[in-house]
Copies of this chain bind each other. A is one copy, B any other.
Amino acid sequence: MPVFTEHSAASRELRVLPSFAPPLPRLAPQLAENTTEKYEVVIVGAGPAGLMLDLLLARYGLSDESLLCVDSKPTTLKSGQADGLQPRTLETLKSLGLADEILTEGCQMWQVAFWNPSNDKDKIIERTSIVQDVAVPARFPHEVTIHQGRIERILETDLLRYSKRGVQRNTKLIEAKIDEEGDAEFPVLAEIEAEGHRRTVRTKYLVGADGAHSVVRRSMGLKLEGESLDHIWGVVDLVVDTDFPDIRRRCAIHSPAGSVMVIPRERIATGEYLTRLYVQVPGDVKPDSDQQTEDGPNTPPTADARARRGQVTEQTIFENAAAVFKPYYIRPKKDGAVDWWAAYQIGQRVTDSFSVKDSKGVNRVFIAGDACHTHSPKAGQGMNVSMMDSYNLAWKLVYAIHELTPSGSSGQPDPLLDTYHIERHTIAQQLIEFDRDFSSMFSGKIGASEDGVGGLTHDQFLEVFSRGNGFTSGCGIEYPDNITAVRDLRGEKNPIKGTDYLSGVLRPGRRLLNVRLVRHADGYRRDLQDDFASTGRFRILCLASTDLLDPDGTSTQTLTQLGAMIPRFPLSVLEQVAVHPRLEKDFMWTDIPRELKQYSEMSFYSGYEIDDVYGIYGVNPAEGALAVVRPDGYIGVIAALGDVKRVESYLESLIRTI
């Protein structure tokens, strides 16, 4: 199109950049110039938990003046070992705009095959069944496996769009303590060392995301409690040469010679595909007291455990694997095909408190990720639960720091910050309990009732696997009742029918399941979760009833009242998403409340043309319902359609009105 006249505004040049997430408003006074290294948050550790927290806080609005993340290592991951992303983690990454490379270039793991001893002695092992790896509804109904360092690189690349400094590396925490007398506003003292040089920084909040040997945890006198169990495992990442037919599926192989778990991995630059193998080292060892007491004085490891550990080498791992795969062969594809190998002993431990308060009862120090829970890797949970710890903590911290909560600048303890421990400690407990069951069953023998481990059947194993799927996928997580997830109906009738929460029935404390629907304004066939981006905002989800076109109906009254309520809260902190059921006739904007277009022009949907949204969410179209969804995508409260008061009092308990 050759034009003959053209004019453009300077702002137009901004249109070429990738979009930035809008920061949360700040009601707190701006930080004074940061001359003495005082921060609002200091994060120790830049693994998946620390990076995720750093990125979220930066996106929500903490500047480099306010936020510091240090890590003792010189560069991003060299020694990490996680590789699995669960469906709920993928939803979270998608809500941050960070899922695309992972979904495209990671290995999508859709199925799991179970191999067990065969009655036919020539076959030795046989495939008992293949099931879907993710058995619960999820936006991405599969796991993704990919090198942990790649996840960290993706998080860090995005971080550098929001933070000029990024992670301060080669910088180690020596010790931390709470010192209110020195500076009541910045009461946490952290002594850090960079390139042989020590310095002291002060911060309002300190977060330990510094792994299983956390210095923050140790400084605060918190302990990882738990035990080491009695099996040693080897793990290896490599390009394999094999005739085993299910090498590209996740496999649980129980053979007379022991157990192997196969985790297919991503394609690499050579065009070949990686495989991870978890290989059991035969024989039992006694529960191991040295790891149990890592925070106290070291007890020497038992001679038995020490001797067994010394025996684990790359060669023994392959020998053990080869025995389990028989009659199939398996070997590294060629010299140099082994990427990484390691050995570990299963242990499940959790810290009994995830935060430490100052003398006024204000939570000042938090721990997240491996610093508060360690467990076996085989259910693919570690990196996920760790990042989700941060995802839970981040918005709460910024709401407190920005004085968006009712406590505001009162200096009183903010109950919102208590909910981090309440919610995530519950999940950590469930995690180690699940892992204990799953690991022992996996280490046990199947179809071998003659030995001491005791006749575990394939069906029992499959049952634990499937039952655990809601938990392991992250999609079935339910936070306990607390001020951010209110289940108590106070005598009101529950507007939600059904209890199949895993399949989407709305439930405070659970994440809002994605549904597909059609947008009123433009016919865009869209994923609802895309209106719940992780920008730190609360959202009111209004499921209007069939009376929407009645100007005197409950839907209209509700939308009008919501329209009056929203401006009572700080600008942009509250968004509204609305859905309507099938109505008796077509309509235009002029047929529905003005406030609906005002607050939901681009977030108003028909909820029946693709998915049956009302059916999935357990809402009667004749009655409708209201829900508030927290900034992290979990449902905070549910109310009857007309009950705007319940929504308002929930919000008032968490957000300051203006």
Contact = CB atoms under 8 A, between A and B. Distances in A.
Interface of A: 1-9, 11-20, 22, 76-79, 81-82, 97, 100-101, 104-105, 108-111, 130, 132, 142, 147, 149-150, 152-153, 212-213, 235, 237, 243, 245, 247-249, 264, 266-269, 271, 273, 291, 309, 312, 314, 336, 338-345, 347, 374-377, 382, 521-525, 588-590, 601-602
A7 B314 contact: yes
A105 B104 CA distance: 17
Given A1-B81, A522-B110, A341 B7 contact: yes
Which DSSP category, helix, strand, loop or mixed, fits chain A's interface?
mixed
A524 B153 contact: no
Given A522-B248, A523-B130, A13 B97 contact: no
Contacts of A344: 1-4
A149 B101 contact: no
A212 B2 contact: yes
12 contacts: A2-B212, A3-B342, A8-B78, A8-B79, A15-B147, A16-B77, A17-B150, A110-B523, A245-B589, A248-B522, A248-B602, A273-B602
Contacts of A13: 78, 149
Query: Nearest 3 pairs between A and B by C-beta?
Result: A111-B523, A100-B100, A16-B149
Contacts of A345: 4
A11 B522 contact: no
Nearest to A8: B340
Nearest to A376: B1
Contacts of A213: 2
Contacts of A19: 105, 267, 269
Contacts of A235: 3
Contacts of A375: 1
Contacts of A525: 110
A461 to B, nearest CB: 20
Contacts of A20: 269
Interface centre among A8, A314, A376 (most CB of B within 10 A): A8
A298 to B, nearest CB: 14
Given A13-B149, A18-B105, A111-B523, 10 more contacts: A1-B344, A1-B375, A4-B343, A4-B344, A5-B342, A8-B79, A11-B336, A97-B104, A243-B589, A245-B588
A109 B522 contact: yes
Contacts of A245: 588-590
A371 to B, nearest CB: 12
A198 B13 CA distance: 30
A483 B533 CA distance: 50
Contacts of A82: 1
A264 B81 contact: no
Contacts of A521: 247-249
Contacts of A602: 248, 267, 273
Nearest to A525: B110
A139 B525 CA distance: 14
Contacts of A11: 336, 339
A4 B285 CA distance: 15
Contacts of A237: 12
A297 to B, nearest CB: 18
Nearest to A522: B248
Contacts of A249: 521-523
Given A14-B269, A15-B147, A3 B343 contact: yes
A228 to B, nearest CB: 9
B340 A522 contact: no
A101 B18 contact: yes
Contacts of A589: 243, 245
Contacts of A343: 3-6
A588 B113 CA distance: 13
Given A6-B340, A110-B524, A342-B6, A16 B76 contact: yes
A56 B644 CA distance: 56
A5 B19 CA distance: 43
A114 B336 CA distance: 63
A76 B16 CA distance: 9
A600 to B, nearest CB: 13
Interface centre among A79, A521, A525, A588 (most CB of B within 10 A): A521
Contacts of A142: 524
A18 B273 CA distance: 15
A231 to B, nearest CB: 13
Nearest to A82: B1
B523 A264 contact: no
A20 B11 CA distance: 34
A279 to B, nearest CB: 13
B111 A522 contact: yes
A280 to B, nearest CB: 15
B339 A264 contact: no
A415 B101 CA distance: 39
Given A7-B341, A248-B602, A374 B2 contact: yes
Contacts of A109: 522
A2 B291 contact: yes
A558 to B, nearest CB: 23
A378 B524 CA distance: 21
Interface centre among A16, A338, A524, A590 (most CB of B within 10 A): A16
A347 B14 CA distance: 31
A339 B522 contact: no
Contacts of A243: 589
A139 to B, nearest CB: 14
Contacts of A149: 12-13, 15-16
Nearest to A108: B524
Contact of A340 (B7, B273, B309): B7
A109 B521 CA distance: 11
A543 to B, nearest CB: 22
Contacts of A342: 3, 5-7
Nearest to A6: B342
Nearest to A344: B3
A344 B110 CA distance: 53
Contact of A17 (B7, B8, B78, B153): B153
Nearest to A109: B522
